[in-house]
Chain A
Amino acid sequence: MRITADTSRCIGAGMCVLTAPELFDQNDDDGTVILLEETPSPTSRDTARRAVRSCPSGALSISDD
């Protein structure tokens, strides 16, 4: 599983950080997403999916490799 973050679409709502703080952070200046873990471990995959689903602006996506 690979997470992709499009910072140009990100609105800094913080839902990903709230849902999966081990995978995401926010830029202190403009609040946009910082991807901490591009390829989540098997134990983090469900959380990753929840975080991607909770993104209000469609800035996050997941691909399965």
Chain B
Amino acid sequence: MTHAESHPVTYPMFRESPLDPPAELGRWREEDPVRPMVFADGHIGWLAVSHAAVRAVLADPRFSTRVELLHPPVGQRLSQVTRRVMPGFFIRLDPPEHTRFRKLLTGQFTVRRMKQLEPRIEKITGDRLDAMESGGAPADLVKDFALPIPSLVICELLGVPYSDHERFQRDSSALLNLESSPERVRDALDGLAAYLGDLVLRKHDDPGDDLISGLIAAGGLTVEEITGASLLLLIAGHETTANMLALGTYTLLRHPDQLAALRDNPALIDTTVEELLRFLSIVHLGPVRAAVEDLELEGHPIKAGQNVALSLAAANRDPARYDAPDTLDITRDALGHVSFGHGIHQCLGQQLARIEMRIAYPALFRRFPALQLAVPADEIPLRSKMAIYGVHQLPVTW
């Protein structure tokens, strides 16, 4: 059964309130969870905004994630620039190629392996807090805490020298900036690939006890494939958790009752992390999938080749899935949120991200019990024009 389609919308990015998704998403979800959408290049596809529809698309093998089939929902994204699959960039591969990479990597990211990293993450976190304390207030929590912790951890895991962090952070930031020109995006991608390609070759001759050396030793992958996989892990491994740490801290500071509840009962940290993941949905643009055959989604006919853009934020605030979805409640069972995605591409590093957050938030609030914003809340610069949401800076005092 199909019905008359509404006028195509564009992907909403404008937020009236920094911690809430664009208001029209909620209205649309109530009217119809799937509606026509015009993409940045003029393609007419669809937008899905309910928890059920988003999960259905992500779990459905009739949708592809290959970059040459995708249209950009907004701005000049990677797909528009290159429209080619970088070897080994497995988030843009379908089975069976995707399966080959995923199987090689999942053993490195098991719950048990991530737990083994806890002492090291605690040490890194403690070192950053020491540096903040000795530097004195005010500090920028992004630069001094939120960004270096996950960057140091993913660098150690991959075997990337942290001393090169300015270089790769500059390029990955350009990649994620929705306002970067196609030339800048291409340069950033080429720069990162060249840097990591050199590193892979060096490790080929002089292996270490790290993930990239492990991929080389496993055999069966080309240098280009290992480079592409490393590039994905490096970007995904530091940008995401860094923004969760800074935006999550900002959120807790703006919800003092929730922060007090966490202080009174530190055992709430596990549910706090899940709730912050749900509430903030920092991947606020896409993902996008392409139908590989004609199909039906919630009564709408999707043609082969048509793209469906998903709103993870709208799915995570769906009242059909969560009671009082717009309320931050660190005691709720938020499991089932789609902040790490769903289906076969669900975040490989999610257990690492969880452990980093479970260590870093409590350590920060233990060290600085009087932590507060150093400027008025409405002066915090928000990452509205970045593919991953968060704050650009977070000046704090204690």
A34 CA / B72 CA spacing, docked (Å): 39
Interface pair A14/B344, CB less than 8 Å apart: no
| Other-chain residue from A21, A32, A50, A53 in contact with B106 (beta carbon distance below 8 A) | A32
- Interface bits A41-58 vs B (CB < 8 Å: 1, else 0): 000000000100110111
- Interface bits B324-347 vs A (CB < 8 Å: 1, else 0): 000000000001100011111011
A13 CA / B350 CA spacing, docked (Å): 8
Chain A contact-residue range equals 20 to 34
Interface pair B344/A11, CB less than 8 Å apart: yes
A17 CA / B351 CA spacing, docked (Å): 10
A13 contacts which chain B residues (CB < 8 A)? 106, 340, 346-348, 350
- Interface bits B101-131 vs A (CB < 8 Å: 1, else 0): 0111111111111000000000000000000
Min CB distance, B380 to chain A, in Å? Answer: 32
A48 CA / B348 CA spacing, docked (Å): 22
Q: How many A-B residue pairs have CB under 8 A?
A: 70
Min CB distance, A11 to chain B, in Å? Answer: 5
B351 contacts which chain A residues (CB < 8 A)? 14, 18
Interface pair B342/A56, CB less than 8 Å apart: yes
On B, residues with C-beta under 8 Å from A are: 58-59, 102-113, 335-336, 340-344, 346-348, 350-351, 354
What are 27 A-B contacts with C-beta separation under 8 Å? Answer: A11-B344, A11-B346, A12-B109, A13-B340, A13-B346, A13-B347, A13-B350, A14-B109, A18-B351, A19-B335, A26-B106, A27-B110, A29-B107, A30-B103, A30-B106, A30-B107, A31-B105, A31-B107, A31-B108, A31-B110, A32-B103, A32-B106, A53-B336, A54-B335, A57-B59, A57-B343, A57-B344
On A, residues with C-beta under 8 Å from B are: 11-14, 17-19, 21, 25-32, 50, 53-54, 56-58
Give me 19 other A-B pairs in contact (C-beta within 8 A), A28-B107, A30-B106, A58-B59 excluded. Answer: A11-B346, A12-B102, A12-B110, A13-B106, A13-B347, A13-B348, A13-B350, A14-B110, A14-B111, A14-B350, A18-B351, A26-B111, A27-B107, A29-B107, A30-B103, A30-B107, A31-B109, A57-B343, A57-B344
